[in-house]
Structure 1
Amino acid sequence: RISENFDYVYNSIGRRISWLEMSAEMMCQLYEGQLSKYTNVMKGWQFRWFILDPKTGILSYYLNENERKQQPRGWVHLEAAVIAPSDEDSNTFDCKFKLR
């Protein structure tokens, strides 16, 4: 999980870790797994395979795990994003960007 202000992350057991506490090894590894993504075309939630690269700050998504070696279907650069829990439910988060 990523925090509201992106100053820290939660590790796999739910302990809060600041970016300063993260080891060089943690900052070099990719984080990947299945998440639900809201799609406007289908007007609903669809499972997608996501990969977060902490070195670049890019979150990429693919149709499924088998496609992860291909070009992503989409991606966002999270450096300027505000990641916040959604009001919708406790399992949803929003990526918000300030546009000019």
Structure 2
Amino acid sequence: MSLVRKGSRRIVVDEIAYRWVVRRKPTYTQEQGCAMSYAVELEDARGAVLVVQTDHAHPLNFMGEPSKAVLPSDVERAIRLALAQGWAPEVPGAQFQLDLSAA
């Protein structure tokens, strides 16, 4: 799986370029107030995608749960944490799940 370039944002961590995106339209569970997630991958190589579960709701949830924007500093922190936990973004494979909802 690779991310759509349109709507994704670029971030450089330790001189390596990544692209990340928050889904514009919430999933059914995100509409119900469940935690929002976003995806990260290497900019030029197609390897394993990092999926980060946040601790806040999607802005378009129907339940009125509080939400906040995902900042580039949040994405950088998640990338560093995922790399420390074994995410290999250059190796094709299954999504790497990082749950920050309890962090």
- TM-score, with length taken from structure 2: 0.28
Q: Radius of gyration: which is bigger?
A: 1
Greater helix percent: which structure? 2
* Bigger RCO (CA 8 Å, 6+ sep): 2
Greater strand percent: which structure? 1
